[in-house]
Amino acid sequence: MKYQNILITGGCGFIGTNFINYLFNLKEFTGNVINIDKLTYAGNPNNLIDINEKYGNDRYFFYKTDITDISSIDTVFEKHAVDCIIHFAAESHVDRSIHGPGEFIQTNIIGTFNLLETVRKHWKNSKDFLFHHISTDEVFGSLGNTGYFYETTPYDPRSPYSASKASSDHLVMAYFYTYAIPITISNCTNNYGQYQFPEKLIPLMINNMLEEKDLPVYGKGKNIRDWLYVQDHCSGIWKIVQNGRRGETYNFGGENEWTNIDLLNILCEEVAIQKNKDKDYYKKLITYVKDRAGHDHRYAINCDKVKEELNWKQSVTFNEGLTKTVKWYLSNIKWMNDIKSGQYKNWIEKNYCQR
Ligand code: NAD
Ligand code: TYD
């Protein structure tokens, strides 16, 4: 499928930034990228500020656009003959959704609805059009110590974040059945890597180690997450966009489960190695704090479908990915400092992390 005008929503966030770079590195992709992003606290325009120079092209367009405002989305569709949307934009942090669910309902549900309505107006019944919706495994709820989520697992979201994502997934699928708009959906486990906002576990802990601050572990640290390197998520999304069956959902995971406390211990060691400190140097900062409300115990996903149908596989091991990630954060202190001098500072001061 040769898309000429791919509209990315939320391209200034963590996965969106990585995906836009991934796209421009692909020889086979010769089209334009139109990025619409509201630039919330999590959207950093500096991530992509030099993207046209970096790739020696003029194929990147940015619009500061709020997807809860349907007329502004429409304006972008009037300017560009969009033939594919990859929808990343969302409020994405579970803790924030607990403290203030309203924005999650607006952006994740109403925003997705607005995009779908705009597509319904502009897609011209082209079977070559695609709306790819990026979602999370959190829509499936929480697992015990065994078992996996499958594409067929019934939805059972537990946080305002996951409930809002579940709702948006249902809307996207409804537009496939009702209006025949070609859609695909992917549900992925926890991503990690460069450009992740330092409120999420891995970058937050790296930042706190560098500042020699407490490393806050919720509850007993026994909750389990499955981790996928962001670049491998990007390669999977591209495979679906190219060859995924329309009307289908695909799961992505890292087959790489860790309790939070075990992950934190190896992260402490990796940062210590790269900072030339004693292996256990940062572990003394580990502090157990009040648990997250409704904290999902375990996420783990079966991703055989995307492996078998689309020949997707991961290329980065957890050891390699963690080393690269720590290296990136240590080499990009300015990126982190710029964030901290703005909204992130307020986030810490408001003490939302239930310390
Ligand atoms: P992020 O929070 O880093 O970035 C979200 C981006 O969306 C930001 O650039 C923000 O400015 C933008 N945005 C927010 N509200 C908007 C609005 N109303 N209009 C336009 N733009 C808006 O998130 P992320 O981690 O990059 O996640 C991207 C997508 O992937 C989300 O849909 C998320 O649910 C999904 N996902 C994330 C993970 C993960 O581990 N990070 C795992 C599975 C799925
Ligand atoms: P997070 O990165 O917020 O992702 P998600 O909630 O979407 O899985 O958190 C990952 C895990 O780490 C989760 O079980 C909560 C836990 N956690 C902590 O223990 N301390 C923290 O400071 C943060 C941000 C998360």
Residues 62-93 pLDDT 10s: 999 999 999 999 999 999 999 999 999 999 99
Q: What distance in angstroms lies between residue 107's CA and the mean position of ligand 1's atoms?
A: 10
pLDDT at 329 over 50: yes
Region 230-257: mean pLDDT is 98
Of 96, 142, 201, the one to substitute when testing ligand 2's pocket (max ligand atoms within 8 A of C-beta) is 201
Rounded Cα distance, 131 and 230, in Å: 21
Angle CA 144–146–152, to nearest 5:
90
pLDDT of residue 342: 80
Report the alpha-carbon distance of residue 302 to residue 297 in Å, rounded: 17
Q: Annotated catalytic, 150?
A: no
What are the structural domains, with CATH classification, of the chain? Answer: 5-191+229-255+296-316+344-351 (3.40.50.720)
For the chain, give the mean pLDDT: 96
DSSP state at residue 45 = G
78: its two tokens? 């009037």
Q: Is 19 in the pocket of ligand 1 (CB under 6 A)?
A: no
pTM, 2 dp: 0.97
User: What was the pLDDT predicted at 172?
Assistant: 98
- pLDDT interval class at 354 (50, 70, 90): very low
Residue-level pLDDT at 201:
98
The set of residues, in sequence order, having a beta carbon less than 8 Å from that of 309 and lying 6+ positions away, is 244, 245, 250
pLDDT in tens, 185-221: 999 999 999 999 999 999 999 999 999 999 999 999 9
Q: What is the DSSP pairing of strand 248-252 with strand 183-188?
A: parallel
* 11, 123, 295, 340 from 180: Cα distances, Å: 26, 11, 37, 45
The pLDDT assigned to 353 comes to 45
HSE at residue 303, side-chain half, CA atoms within 13 A, is 29
Among 313, 242, 250, which residue's Cα sits nearest to residue 31? 242
> Beta 224-229 vs 257-259: how paired, if at all?
antiparallel
